[in-house]
Amino acid sequence: MILTLSCPDQPGIVARVATTLFERGANILDAMQYGDEETGRFFMRVVFDPGPGEPEALREALGRVAAEYGMDWRLRDPKERRRVMILASQQDHCLTDLIWRWRQGELPMDITAVVSNHPESIFPHTDLKGIAFRHLPITAETKPQQEAQLLGLIQETRTDLVVLARYMQVLSNDLATQLAGRCINIHHSFLPGFKGARPYHQAHVRGVKLIGATAHFVTADLDEGPIIEQDVERISHRDTPKDLVRKGRDIERRVLARAVRWVLEDRVLLNGQKTVVFTG
């Protein structure tokens, strides 16, 4: 089982959680915690073997601890795979990489659907065999109807997590709000610099020596959501915008894959406009 929690920081939280698990016959296998001095919040992730005790009794005991300390908490059996929907537009490198890793067993998830504003034929090099594909075209005039269809599909398929794998449509404030905390985007730039369109061209004009990519939670504010993961690669004055795009694709793939895996493994906790990521 995996227990994640956050609450106002105070002495005794770790001891109280550990004692509660011990008293119910559970055995802690891994534990990480962090106290944020700036916000006064405490964060914890515990992996444990629940032992022979009754699951509901354990959940009730943890619920009492959570109420005592004012915790936001979640208890999940890692055998229960998250249901994930992937959205993509014309570029398929992130989509293809996620599907490949999923087929290799690297990402413990069930793909509910791949959704695109372009037809399936736009992805001739992506192995979509056995995966539901939905084409939801969109224009400025049809955006409200398309997003209503998309939200209906998310609800119908009981999707837990939505991944924007180079989905080049800006979600409306309403949809972004409804997906708060369960929608990840990959931005092809090292945020907070070079937001919006054509960031590699912006970087080239500025003569940067490093380019990067950022995986973040989606919020109503464009490219302002809590950052989950970032990475960079060194470039030189010889690199053209095309070179930057090529190198950037590699960064985007690995950054998004790490972010998705960490969320699937309950390693990412929201901390206001930031995240706490237990990756040790």
> Would you name the residues annotated as active-site residues?
223
Strands 82-88 and 161-164, sheet pairing: parallel
The answer to whether 279 touches 267, Cβ cutoff 8 Å, is yes
Partners of 82 in the beta sheet? 109
Q: How far apart are CA 265 and CA 45, in angstroms?
A: 10
- Give CA separation, 69 vs 34, 40, 60, 207, 269, in Å: 16, 13, 14, 50, 17
Strands 2-8 and 82-88, sheet pairing: unpaired
What secondary structure does DSSP assign to 219-279, as a single string?
-SSTT-SPEEEEEEEE--TT--HHHHHHHHHHHHHHHHHHHHHHHHTT-EEEETTEEEE--
The one-character DSSP state at 201 is H
Look at the block and give the residue holding tokens 């559970």. Answer: 26
Backbone angles phi, psi at 42, to 5 degrees: -115, 140
Other C-beta atoms lying within 10 Å of the C-beta of residue 202: 16
Q: How far apart are CA 236 and CA 201, in angstroms?
A: 14
CA atoms within 13 A of residue 213's CA, in its CB half-sphere: 25
Other C-beta atoms lying within 10 Å of the C-beta of residue 177: 12
